[in-house]
Structure 1
Amino acid sequence: MLIHPWDTASEAEWRPWLAVRDFGQLIASGRDRDLPVVVPTHFLFDGDTTVRVHLARPNPIWAALAENPNVLLAVVDDYDYVPAAWGGTDVPTSYYAAVHLVCTAVVIDDPAAKADLLTRQLAHFEPPGGRTDVSEEVDADRRQLPGIRGLELTVRDVQAKFKYGGNKSPEVRARIAEHLSERAGPHDAAAREHLLSRGSAD
């Protein structure tokens, strides 16, 4: 991912952004493959260095992980289209936030460990009053646990990009922000907030 200096997201920016997101694409390159395996998936990030995922046993990612445990978890959100005229140029642009977590994957097959992983995930995803506890001691759980495998990803590196006109003057950013307010599209409010927080490279 190309990251210009003015688009670089600091740890103080990307950590709270990622903390409220839980869906991305898990990418495993394997070895000597024509294409990597890309899996859209929910995930649970502990806010520090660990990401937890569970996937169906037939998923093609397992063969790629057996070849190479290095993976990339890519998360993109708050994306927007900025017409050329808004920036006073002949070239339109895209605004977006992207965080790539470079990780080492460990496969979890132990039933008790899988139950613990699922319990952690359900505690995050389930609404209040929903089921959160999973146990290999429960018959229904014991029968279903073999159908999944868990993944614990240890984060080794982070690439974070917040592309929101950080190289533009305050005047241009303010003008684009006004247009975003007027358009009021699905991602315009979030993009506007990022835009106004970015510094100028001038």
Structure 2
Amino acid sequence: MFIQPWGAALDDAKWQTWIAEGHDFGILSVNGPPGHAPAVVPTHSTVDGTALLVHLARPNPVWKAIETDPNVTFTITGDYAFIPGPWRAKPGAEHTDGVPTSYYAAVQSPARPASSTTRRPRRSCCAGRWPTSSPMATTPPIDPAQPPYGRMLPGIRGLPLDVADVRAKFTYDHRTVEQRTGTARRLTERGTTPDAPTAAQQLRRLDRAGTWKS
């Protein structure tokens, strides 16, 4: 993932906070056998100690791909929006001179399966998910010997991942403060589904970074 200096996370707390705010659904990418396209699996994730934990159906063919090449990447993206060219025109220039772009946040984690992959209790794979994904739901305990989940647990495998690195990208422009503030206002006024969180990210980054200086 290419990251311009102005798009880099300001510190580790930035991407850690972003993940903790509920950005936990992403794409697991696995190289797979030679001659085959990479396997790509959308899935939830949770942080489990020092590992990133996902769970997948036991029949999922991605397991075979992981056995072939254990180097994987987990990517989460969010708070994205398309920015029309006129919004980005330089002061005094024609609106048609503005170049469109996209704002988005992305956290990418190259990783390898942890040595405890085969020993991780299956119920721990799901237990960490419910408090955030369904905070108002009342769910029974996850007990391998009891319904309703006991009979389902053999159908999944947990995949704890040892993360080798974290690449975080927050692409919210490097124009003047006035222009970026105006873009946040226009996003709020436009009001499509991803616009509000994108505007919030823009303003949050503005508050900390101000005008970009190379």
TM-score of the pair, normalised by structure 1: 0.88
1:60-99 equivalences under 5 Å are: 60-88=61-89, 89-99=97-107
- The one of 101, 115, 129 equivalent to 1:121 is 129
The 3-state SS of whatever aligns with 1:143 is coil
1:8-60 C-alpha deviation (Å, 9 max, x unpaired): 012121111011222111111134243110001111124x6322111111111
> How many Å separate the matches in 2 of 1:36 and 1:163?
26
- The one of 137, 144, 153 equivalent to 2:145 is 137
Q: Is residue 183 of structure 1 aligned with residue 190 of structure 2?
A: yes
Structure 1: tracts of 5 or more residues without a match: none
> How many Å separate the matches in 2 of 1:181 and 1:115?
41
Using the TM superposition, name which of 119-128 and 13-22 deviates more: 119-128
Aligned-partner residue type, residue 65 of structure 2: A
Aligned-partner residue type, residue 73 of structure 1: F
The structure-2 alpha-carbon separation of the partners of 1:77 and 1:128, relative to structure 1 and needing over 3 Å to count, comes to same
Aligned-partner residue type, residue 79 of structure 1: Y
Structure 2: tracts of 5 or more residues without a match: 90-96
The 3-state SS of whatever aligns with 1:157 is coil
- Cα deviation, residue 139, structure 1: 6.0
The 3-state SS of whatever aligns with 1:162 is strand
- Aligned residues with identical type, % of pairs: 37
Q: Is residue 201 of structure 1 aligned with residue 212 of structure 2?
A: yes
Contact 2:142 2:150 in 1 (8 A): no
Contact 2:87 2:98 in 1 (8 A): no
Contact 2:81 2:102 in 1 (8 A): yes
Contact 1:122 1:133 in 2 (8 A): no
- Cα deviation, residue 109, structure 1: 4.5
> How many Å separate the matches in 2 of 1:123 and 1:176?
35
The structure-2 alpha-carbon separation of the partners of 1:87 and 1:129, relative to structure 1 and needing over 3 Å to count, comes to closer
1:1-202 equivalences under 5 Å are: 1-9=1-9, 10-19=11-20, 20-46=22-48, 49-88=50-89, 89-106=97-114, 108-110=117-119, 113-128=121-136, 130-138=138-146, 141-165=149-173, 167-196=174-203, 197-198=205-206, 199=209, 200-202=211-213
Aligned-partner residue type, residue 98 of structure 1: A
> How many Å separate the matches in 1 of 2:140 and 2:117?
19
- Cα deviation, residue 141, structure 1: 4.1
Using the TM superposition, name which of 80-89 and 175-184 deviates more: 175-184
RMSD, aligned CA: 2.1
Aligned-partner residue type, residue 185 of structure 2: E
Aligned-partner residue type, residue 76 of structure 2: V
**Which structure: greater strand fraction?**
1
> How many Å separate the matches in 2 of 1:169 and 1:127?
40
TM-score of the pair, normalised by structure 2: 0.83
